[in-house]
């Protein structure tokens, strides 16, 4: 699982999820990663598309495909080109390192 390597992630991340994706259900991967990165204060956003599957980029509703591309371009404009985009302004505070026992969503292990 990519969550295994969450402590190594430093790059701002955008998750684009289809709510009807049965190949990689949002709750089984993307949402967990999103929450873990938010917990660590890594710049992260999630864009969800209702009634869309894993095939969003190829066979999704046309307006969703356009919106998906607009989000991708906007994200890269912001993070690579430095263009201000309020929708992608994420408060950067001190990064929280992931250590054994402080993984989001899990109860701390008693010592």
Residue 99 has a pLDDT of 58
Domain assignment present for residue 69? The answer is yes
E-only strand ranges, 64-104: none
For 94, counting Cβ atoms within 10 Å of its Cβ (0-12 exposed, 13-18 middle, 19+ buried), the class is exposed
- At residue 2 the predicted structure's pLDDT band, cuts being 50, 70 and 90, is confident
52 in Cβ contact with 16 (< 8 Å): no
Residue 96 has a pLDDT of 54
Domain assignment present for residue 72? The answer is yes
Domain assignment present for residue 74? The answer is yes
Does the pLDDT of residue 106 top 60, yes or no?
no
Residue 87 has a pLDDT of 87
Q: State which H helix or E strand residue 102 sits in.
A: none
How many C-beta atoms surround the C-beta of residue 3 within 10 A? Answer: 15
| Mean model confidence pLDDT for the chain | 84
Range(s) of the domain holding residue 19: 2-88
Domain assignment present for residue 101? The answer is no
57 in Cβ contact with 15 (< 8 Å): no
- pTM for this prediction: 0.78
């Amino acid at each position: 699982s990519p969550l295994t390597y969450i402590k190594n992630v430093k790059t701002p991340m955008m998750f684009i999820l289809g709510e009807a994706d049965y190949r990689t259900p949002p709750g089984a991967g993307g949402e967990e990663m999103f929450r873990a990165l938010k917990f660590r204060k890594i710049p992260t956003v999630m864009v969800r598309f209702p009634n869309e599957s894993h095939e969003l980029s190829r066979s999704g509703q046309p307006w969703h495909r356009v919106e998906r591309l607009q989000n991708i371009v906007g994200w890269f404009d912001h993070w690579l080109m430095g263009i201000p985009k309020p929708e992608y302004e994420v408060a950067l505070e001190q990064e929280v390192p992931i250590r054994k026992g402080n993984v989001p969503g899990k109860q701390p292990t008693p010592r």
